[in-house]
Amino acid sequence: MSNPNPHPTVGVGVVVLKGDDVLLIRRGRPPKQGEWSIPGGRQEFGETVRACALREVLEETGITAGNLALIDVVDLIRPATSASSAGHWTLVDFAADWVSGEPTAGDDAADARWVKCSDIESLGLWRETVRIIRAAMDMKTHPKSRA
Question: Which mean pLDDT values do the consecutive 10-residue runs of the chain (147 residues) have?
Answer: 71 96 93 91 96 97 97 90 81 98 92 96 92 95 64
Residue 147: predicted pLDDT: 47
Question: 38 and 114 in contact (C-beta within 8 Å)?
Answer: no
For 19-129, strand residue ranges (E) read: 21-27, 36-37, 40-42, 64-78, 87-100, 109-116
Confidence (pTM): 0.88
75 in a domain, yes or no? yes
127 in a domain, yes or no? yes
- DSSP H or E run through 129: helix 127-141
Residue 1: predicted pLDDT: 45
Residue 144: predicted pLDDT: 67
113 in a domain, yes or no? yes
Task: Give residue 92's domain range.
Answer: 9-145
Question: 7 and 19 in contact (C-beta within 8 Å)?
Answer: no
Domain tally, the chain: 1
2 in a domain, yes or no? no
- The CATH code of the domain that includes 29 is 3.90.79.10
Residue 57: predicted pLDDT: 98
Residue 146: predicted pLDDT: 47
Residue 145: predicted pLDDT: 47
Read off the DSSP letter of residue 43: P
Neighbours of 49 (CB within 10 A): 17
Residue 94: predicted pLDDT: 98
